[in-house]
Amino acid sequence: MMKKALLLLTLIISIAGISQNRMTPELLWKLKRIGNIQVSPDGEQVLFSLKTYDLDKNGGSSDLYVVPVAGGTPKQITNRPGSEFDAQWRPDGEKIGFLATPETGSETSIFEVNPDGTDLKRLSYGAGQINGFKYFPDGKKIVFIKDVKLNKVKSQEIVSDLPQSNARVIDDLMYRHWGSWDDGKRSHIFFAVIQDGKMQGSGIDIMKGENYDAPLKPFGGMEQITISPDGNSIVYACKKMEGLNYAISTNSDLYVYNVLLGNTNNMTKKYTGYDLDPSYSADGRKIAWLSMEQDGFESDKNDIMVHDYETQLTTNLTQDFDITVSSYVWDDTGEKIYFKSVKEATYQLFEYDLKKKAVRQITEGVHNYTSIAFAGDQLIGGKQSMNHPTDIYAVNIKKGTETQLTDVNKEIYDDLEIGNIEKRWVTTTDGKKELVWVIFPPNFDKDKKYPALLYCQGGPQSAVSQFFSYRWNFQLMAANDYIIIAPNRRGLPGFGQKWNDAISGDWGGQPMDDYISAVDELKKEPYIDQNNIGAVGASYGGYSVYYLAGMHENRFKTFISHCGLYNLESWYGTTEELFFANKDIGGPYFNQIVPPSYAKYSPHKLAKNWNTSMLIFHGEQDFRVPLNQGMEAFQTLQVKGIDSRMILFPDENHWILSPQNGVFWHREFYSWLDKHLK
């Protein structure tokens, strides 16, 4: 009896030890997150933020660190209540500026601190809530953004005798966007003088009276604003449209504000797609930006444009290269540009030589570079993979060799069991080659059979690259003993623009065949239990789950959809950025000639074939794929008597952002899979 008890105790301890050495939802939220990587003006130090989360408090905070480019131990330079963000070096390198909330007051302000963490001082007073900033090159002025109230959108603002009324008054489209309702405020750009260690006044609004946002909401930041080296010009991206016009167009432009004269000119008027992220060469003789050709196509090829002020010529540097650019940076001579681009489902660093008109790939490997900064003979960037969150690396420009500068999660990863990642090429139904990532559980045993998950990517034009997600985390899936099949189906960048564009107008066509090709090929492996395969995904990936549910011919045993599109007609009637629907679906369902997508590719048309269990997640504040999509799908499942559950998050939008909601999401996700696949 004693031997049996000891054996049982040993087994319990052994199992506990295994579980502690694998990723869990709680452990995922303990990982430190690096962000905002900035190189000092002398190229010798790297500034970055490090965010940590407290699950019990359901929140997180970030502090600032510096680490030498040559390598060394990172030094923490801030340790105050709350978070420091948008940190950057002052042009003279003697101070670091950042945004934070003062200990007394609630409006985010600009602070400065010495690079060693001493002499912390507040720079801005009385300017209101500042949402982003940049120094002028001479450090004597500052440009910043803040919201300006321009429109009355609530009943209390329109009438004074009904203080308890809370109606929204809507006269045009874009009354809500991604995850927020229009509050009548617009983000405007200001500049102000710095004198005696303080920003003077509340700033000059360079967009005064304009009913537009700059940067572009909801994702644009200070990368969309630049200042000329002589300090005489502020160049910014803006889509100067309202309502319906804004909803159907991606035609943003770059505007040049003359600081001395106070006037503004449009420098990209002849370009009709997105024009974003302007940046001057160090000598001010050239300006670069990222540009898309097509109006209405948010996932068009992204090229680097350069305007030469001496020759007055504008050149598309990457026009003849079948690549799309994510971000870029000048060197210190104005002769080379370094950029980040996706290639075969990995984000790598590249060089463009303006004299040779040539592109050279600098880095290689199974990873993603998440940022890029110039530091003399090196590039500095964040690097991650499916199995590891971001750390900072220095890359030798000539050789491409990498030096790791940080290892912020070493304590956790030293004891963590990691599954292997395999790169497979699968032949599709039309004879093309599709890259499929296969992620294996830790301690994988090829003689065992494992349940598998088909991962359906969102976007739809968003690469299944070596990203490290804190929700769709492949390492966490593998730690739960699932094999993940992650195809780079039609419609993803990194395999040429033709492959990327193929999904528009064909959502339920070849991309679905690509999913099936990947599953059918991988389930031939003896270690995959072909009777226990699930399909999971969010956004377009959630759409894919709904669509596959109606045509999978019993390949899948269960489904999980997060914020998926179920009924394309009702979705068109409630989503906000209509240029996306017009491009990818073909336009409104009420056109005289109805786009074929509504009849052929709306998942609700195939709901008559649904016969498989399904879990649905949806954020109630999701305005890109509104709540009714999840509700319609769930009602279909319930009426048909199919085992199903719907979990709604009242305060979340297209993503799950709070720690405790994130952990609950994961617990329900794996509870559902364990019930139906094991």
Does residue 6 have a pLDDT over 80?
Answer: no
Q: What's the rounded Cα separation, in Å, for the pair 669 and 672?
A: 5
Q: Of the listed 341, 622, 666, 676, which one is catalytic?
A: 622
% of the chain exceeding 90 in pLDDT: 96
pLDDT tens across 648-670, in order?
999 999 999 999 999 999 999 99
Average of per-residue pLDDT across 151-162: 96
The C-alpha angle 437, 443, 448, rounded to 5 degrees, equals: 85
Q: Could you tell me the pLDDT band of residue 398, with boundaries at 50, 70 and 90?
A: very high
The pLDDT value given to residue 431: 97
Phi, psi of 487 (to 5 degrees): -80, 145
> CA distances (Å), 517 to each of 374, 422, 508, 545, in order?
42, 17, 14, 15
Residue 4 has pLDDT above 80, yes or no: no
Active-site residue, selected from the candidate residues 539, 544, 613, 644: 539
Place 131 in a pLDDT band, splitting at 50, 70 and 90: very high
Per-residue pLDDT at 71 exceeds 80: yes
Domain ranges of the chain: 33-123, 125-269, 418-677
* Paired residues of 143 in beta bridges: 134, 191
Catalytic annotation on 299?
no
- Tell me: the pLDDT tens digits for 522-548? 999 999 999 999 999 999 999 999 999
pLDDT at 2 over 80: no
Answer whether residue 1 shows pLDDT above 60: no
Question: Which residue in 208, 174, 173, 172 sits closest to 189, CA to CA?
Answer: 208
Spell 20-44 as b/e; 16+ CB within 10 A means b: eebbbbeebbebbbbebbbbbeebe
Is the predicted pLDDT of residue 69 greater than 60, yes or no?
yes
**How far is residue 232 from each of residues 116, 226, 289, measured CA to CA in Å?**
32, 11, 19
Query: What pLDDT, on the 0 to 100 scale, is given for residue 104?
Result: 77
Closest CA to 372 of 294, 284, 304, 461: 304
Residue-wise pLDDT tens digits, 233-290: 999 999 999 999 999 999 999 999 999 999 999 999 999 999 999 999 999 999 999 9
3-class secondary-structure state, position 636: helix
Mean pLDDT, all residues of the chain: 95
* pLDDT, tens digit, 9 for 90 and up, residues 589-616: 999 999 999 999 999 999 999 999 999 9
Q: Is 539 a catalytic residue?
A: yes
Q: What is the pLDDT of residues 17-46, one digit of tens each?
A: 344 599 999 999 999 999 999 999 999 999
Instruction: Of 348, 418, 296, 312, give the one whose Cα is nearest residue 22.
Output: 418
- Quote the pLDDT of residue 17: 38
Which of 15-29, 138-152, 217-231, 251-265 is predicted with the least confidence, judged by mean pLDDT? 15-29
Mean pLDDT of 295-309: 98
- The string of DSSP letters for 503-531 reads TTT-TTSHHHHHHHHHHHHHTTSTTEEEE
Mean pLDDT, residues 154-174 taken together: 96
Element counts in the chain: helices (H) and strands (E)? 14, 40
pLDDT in tens, 469-520: 999 999 999 999 999 999 999 999 999 999 999 999 999 999 999 999 999 9
The pLDDT value recorded for residue 20 is 57
Give mean pLDDT, residues 102-131: 93
pLDDT at 9 over 90: no
When pLDDT is cut at 50, 70 and 90, the band that residue 14 belongs to is very low
Q: Tens of pLDDT along 430-450?
A: 999 999 999 999 999 999 999
Active site residue 353: no
CATH superfamily of 418-677: Alpha/Beta hydrolase fold, catalytic domain (3.40.50.1820)
Q: Which two tokens stand for residue 139?
A: 């450090």
Poorest-pLDDT segment among 25-29, 103-107, 205-209: 103-107
In total, the chain counts a number of residues equal to 678
Which residues have a Cβ under 8 Å from the Cβ of 671 and sit 6 or more positions away?
none
